[in-house]
Chain A
Amino acid sequence: MVNYSKDAVVEIRNYLWHKIKQDSILSQNDYLDGNGNTIVPIIPVQQVPEMTSFFLGPTSANEDNKTHIVYDKIGISYEENWTICCEQIVFTVYAIDYNKITIMRNYMMDLFRRMDESARDINAWTGKSSEFKFHSIYIADISPTQPSQEIQGFLAEEIVLEVKYSRHADISGRFI
């Protein structure tokens, strides 16, 4: 049975969170809810209303847990070569500290600017679902840092990634 709930964007989001923790860009301990569960600070735009109170609330003595990323798909297309999917994803980084935005932007740029090499790193990550193979990831655009209109007191910056990937298929080209 094909698992259609799997999504390449979620793979990238999981990989990004894994690397952020590994490289100590953010600390997982700053993102624990009242029950000690980790709230991953990279959320799809559809979940923003539920998560807003966590990221805006006074849940920590310091304010490290306010830095978070909201993502959404811009578009997805298969060209004539229908095995390769081309997808654009926009990540909006929110933080109250300009320095934190700078760190996150440069970190993501470092991680995802290298096209085939960036894709190779995700493919080599053991946490990735076996269904996907990434071919290329690069930074399509980075917007300037601006005061956010959505969350008062926060700064925001958009990073657009262009991702090319394939999903493993059977002999007739259907997903497996």
Chain B
Amino acid sequence: MIKSFWGLVSKVAEWFCVLGFAALFIIFVLQVFFRYVLDNPLSWTQEVAGILYVWIVCVGAATIVKEREHVAFNLIYESVSPKMRRILALAGTGLILVVLVLTLYGNYDYIAFTARQKSPTLRLPMTVVFGAFGVFLILLIVNSAIRIARLMRGDWDREL
């Protein structure tokens, strides 16, 4: 049940990141084409590319990138026994979960506040940008909670 739920989230995130990345690239090619070939630069391309960039990173970092694929210092983690690794993984994931939950309201507050700011060229509410960070935090909280649940179970060694 939990597994199929996260499987679905990951699948949606994969589609989002792949299509988003394709759009980011196409928009950038358009920018170069309009500026250098048509000599008529588009005003909106850079901002839309920036928004897509933030969303791909925020959604991707918590979903399509596996825990152990991230940039990390692995020397200690990989030199200890699986039992010790389980403890380290629980401590690290627990830290992420606790701190993020504690800051959830503060972040909500800030992201709601950014609705009053406007983006430089398109005059969109900046929530369009910062909302991605909220999604990142929620995805990371859910991901961490699921990871902890798995580490607590009998087949915890599959989660290391």
Q: Do A and B come from one complex?
A: no
A residues near B (Cβ < 8 Å) are none
Listed in ascending order, the chain B residues whose CB lies under 8 Å from chain A are: none
